[in-house]
Amino acid sequence: MKTWLRELPKVELHLHIEGSLEPELMFSLAARNNVSLPYATVDEVRAAYDFSDLQSFLNLYYQGMRVLRTDQDFHDLAMAYLERAQAEGVVHVELSFDPQAHLSRGVELAVPFEGLTRAMRDAKRRWGMTSALIMSFLRDRDAGEAMDVLEKAAPYYELIDAVGLDSAEMGNPPAKFAAVFERAKALGIPRVAHAGEEGPAAYISEALDVLDICRVDHGVACLEDAEVVARLRESQIPLTVCPLSNVRLKVVQAMTDHPLPAMLEQGVKVTLNSDDPAYFGGGVLENYIACFEAFDWDRDLFRQLAGNAIEVAFMPEERRSELL
Ligand code: ADE
Ligand code: ZN
């Protein structure tokens, strides 16, 4: 079954490229850029990845990405991830990145855009792998700052497939970003947002109502509210679920407690994704395997989940029909 899952053409819709930074690359970029790390060895870094919640992870995630300084760094980061993904049978990837986490360190917007899009073109040329780019806003910072980033990104609008919303969810409801998402909509840019990861089901409906998103990132809290579940079922708005992330961030206690089977039973359209593979124990394939081990799902179900992701990906219709 593991071999079959590897060979199944898979699509990754929820991937923070900064969360794909493996400790080995962290060390080599730190050396290249003269950035000091609070760890002596790769094993020490891995040992620090013992999270109690989303914030405890975000602290290390923002610390780790300080080694990213040049467009070559972003290129190398993305290329390393895309190469691993292609070896796992991933045929299309949607990379999200956090420009504010770089701008605040003096890394200009052009740097991630140039490095990431160069890697995306290289992956297309080398492996025929397609990709999309999602520019995410940090919800624990001012909405005004997000608006400035959106305006500053004007030279790159052609490269942006969607905008997103991530970082610490509790206390930062979707409505805080109403104006930013309204502006993105006016610009014709599709919108996604993290909602119902650590936050309540009410954030899912608020993100749908106020931000007019076409996909919900995570959304696992939906089961708390039967009306939200009914809305997701009826609209078939897709959820990009990241099971290993939910276990590592203690959103659920174990894979066997994950709400995925209940979500499927309720007719919610779900997809399987990795979130931050370097921090949470693996990429898309590992997430598929973890579901197989926990739930003993059959091939038809995995085909359906992979198909869901193809259906809702930001890709040209021609590519979609090639994959479906
Ligand atoms: N940024 C990177 N990973 C994240 C996650 N799982 N939730 C919110 N923000 C994130
Ligand atoms: Zn995420």
Q: Looking at ligand 1, which atom is closest to the CA of residue 276?
A: 3
- What residues are neighbours of ligand 2 (ion), with CB under 5 Å? 275
Q: Residue 80: its pLDDT value, please?
A: 98
Q: Using a CB cutoff of 8 Å and minimum separation of 24, what contacts does 281-284 make?
A: 281/244, 281/248, 282/244, 283/12, 283/84, 283/85, 283/88, 283/90, 284/10, 284/12, 284/85, 284/88, 284/90
Architecture of domain 2-313: Alpha-Beta Barrel (3.20)
Place of tokens 């990379």: 95
- Nearest-CA residue for ligand 1 atom 8 is 167
- pLDDT on residue 34: 98
Does residue 61's CB lie within 6 angstroms of at least one atom of ligand 1? yes
Query: 306 alpha carbon to ligand 1 midpoint, in Å?
Result: 22
pLDDT reported for residue 104: 98
Ligand 1 centre distance from Cα of residue 166 (Å): 6
Which atom of ligand 1 approaches the CA of 242 most closely? Answer: 6
pLDDT value at position 321?
Answer: 98
Is the distance from the beta carbon of residue 166 to the nearest atom of ligand 1 less than 6 Å? yes
Distance 121 CA to ligand 1 centre (A): 25
**What Å distances lie between residue 247 and 39, 240, 291, 323, CA to CA?**
25, 15, 12, 30
Residue 223: predicted pLDDT: 98
Ligand 2 centre distance from Cα of residue 136 (Å):
10
**Residues with active-site annotation:** 197
19 CB near ligand 1 (under 6 Å): yes
Mutate to test the pocket of ligand 1, among 135, 251, 276, 279 (most ligand atoms within 8 A of CB): 276
Tell me how far CA of residue 17 lies from CA of 121, 129, 143, 190, 228, in angstroms. Answer: 15, 16, 22, 19, 30
Whether the CB of 113 sits within 6 Å of ligand 1: no
Write down the pTM of the prediction: 0.98
d(CA 257, CA 50): 19
Q: Tell me: ipTM over 0.95.
A: yes
Q: What's residue 262's pLDDT?
A: 98
**Residue 16 labeled ligand binder:** yes
pLDDT at residue 41, rounded to an integer? 96
Would the CB of 197 count as within 6 Å of ligand 1? yes
Known binding residue 275? Answer is yes
Residue ranges covered by each domain of the chain: 2-313
- How far apart are the C-alpha atoms of 94 and 117, rounded to whole Å? 12
Q: Whose CA is nearest to atom 9 of ligand 1?
A: 167
pLDDT in tens, the chain (324 residues): 999 999 999 999 999 999 999 999 999 999 999 999 999 999 999 999 999 999 999 999 999 999 999 999 999 999 999 999 999 999 999 999 999 999 999 999 999 999 999 999 999 999 999 999 999 999 999 999 999 999 999 999 999 999 999 999 999 999 999 999 999 999 999 999 999 999 999 999 999 999 999 999 999 999 999 999 999 999 999 999 999 999 999 999 999 999 999 999 999 999 999 999 999 999 999 999 999 999 999 999 999 999 999 999 999 999 999 999
Residue whose Cα lies nearest atom 5 of ligand 1: it is 167
Query: Which residues are registered as beta bridge partners of 132?
Result: 94
Nearest residue (CA) to ligand 1, atom 6: 275
Q: Which residue, among 181, 231, 234, 242, has the nearest Cα to 202 in the 3D structure? A: 231
CA dihedral 289, 292, 298, 301 (to 10 degrees): -70
Specify whether the CB–CB gap between 223 and 195 falls below 8 A.
Answer: no
Atom of ligand 1 nearest to the CA of 61: 2
Question: Which residue type does 14 have?
Answer: H
